Amino acid sequence: MAFAPRLLLPSRCPPPASAPARHGARTAPELSGPTPRVVVVTSGKGGVGKTTTTANLAASLARLSLSAVAVDADAGLRNLDLLLGLENRVHLTAADVLAGDCRLDQALVRHRALHDLQLLCLSKPRSKLPLAFGSKTLTWVADALRRAANPPAFILIDCPAGVDAGFVTAIAPAEEAVLVTTPDITALRDADRVAGLLECDGIKDIKIIVNRVRPDLVKGEDMMSALDVQEMLGLPLLGVVPEDAEVIRSTNRGVPLVLNDPPTPAGLALEQATWRLVERDAMTAVMVEEQERPKKKAGFFSFFGG
């Protein structure tokens, strides 16, 4: 296909003051690797907290004065704008950019409180991305952001549920992946399948976030622990997010959980996961729990067969 959409960007606004330090003497993580880093947040199964994770990772990056573009890659059922409180400011999308109707800087929506955070939606609600754009849609967008005068440090892509065309489009430009799952067998089976597809697409840097963990159920052997999940998927652990009622409240308010003051358990877990993402680190403290928890039940691994 031969067309060259106008993918121009303005100069970036000055960053806000650094976020308060919550990690001892260090005030910011050490950014690892060349930028921009393109990270897809995916799961396979819907409803596990993928969009919530994307919104909070992006907000936490911006709090650390690391510029981030959060991309809602769901062509028909976008929600990332709601979680960031930007639903009334999205008038142009990536589809408009690629159609030549606007520039990329016009489709990017900057967060009012977090100047280092911008949102880009793939298309408008109840509309479909023209098939002519194909799976390279976000690859063109990512390339344009890389060529900008002030490219972002991170491009976070909120992948739609499933493994169909939307999934293929979302993972196409990614170099890293954050795989979000909950500790239940249906989510884990889908996560295992998605991990295999990511590796087949050449994405080797895959880390998992285990969401909605309830320590009381883990202790009673009614829920798999984060260690169980890590052993099943065989992937590095980026974070463990506990069940937290504040997630619903923050979602309804359109304010990312990491901005809560005082911080909530889930907000702190997501902030710590952001630090590990920036430094390409993994969570190892979870191994300690094996000494304290009862012997796990058998039978979980059987769900990955067939």
Q: Which of 175, 201, 238, 208 is nearest to 36 (CA)?
A: 175
Look at residue 259 and give its three-state secondary structure: helix
181 annotated binding-site participant: no
Q: How many CB atoms neighbour CB 258 within 10 A?
A: 26
Contact 198, 246 (CB under 8 A): no
Q: How far is Cα 123 from Cα 230, in angstroms, rounded to an integer? A: 35
162 annotated binding-site participant: no
Backbone angles phi, psi at 277, to 5 degrees: -60, -45
CB-neighbour burial class of residue 293 (10 A; exposed 0-12, middle 13-18, buried 19+): middle
Q: Which of 256, 271, 275, 281 is nearest to 28 (CA)?
A: 275
Q: How far is Cα 224 from Cα 296, in angstroms, rounded to an integer? A: 8
49 annotated binding-site participant: yes
45 annotated binding-site participant: yes
46 annotated binding-site participant: yes
Look at residue 209 and give its three-state secondary structure: strand
Residue type present at position 85: G
50 annotated binding-site participant: yes
Report DSSP state, residue 23. Answer: B
305 annotated binding-site participant: no
Q: Which of 236, 214, 235, 234 is nearest to 224 (CA)?
A: 214
Backbone angles phi, psi at 196, to 5 degrees: -65, -40
Residue 261's alpha-carbon distances to 59, 109, 264, in angstroms, are 14, 25, 8
128 annotated binding-site participant: no
Binding-site positions: 45-52
Binding-site positions for ATP: 45-52
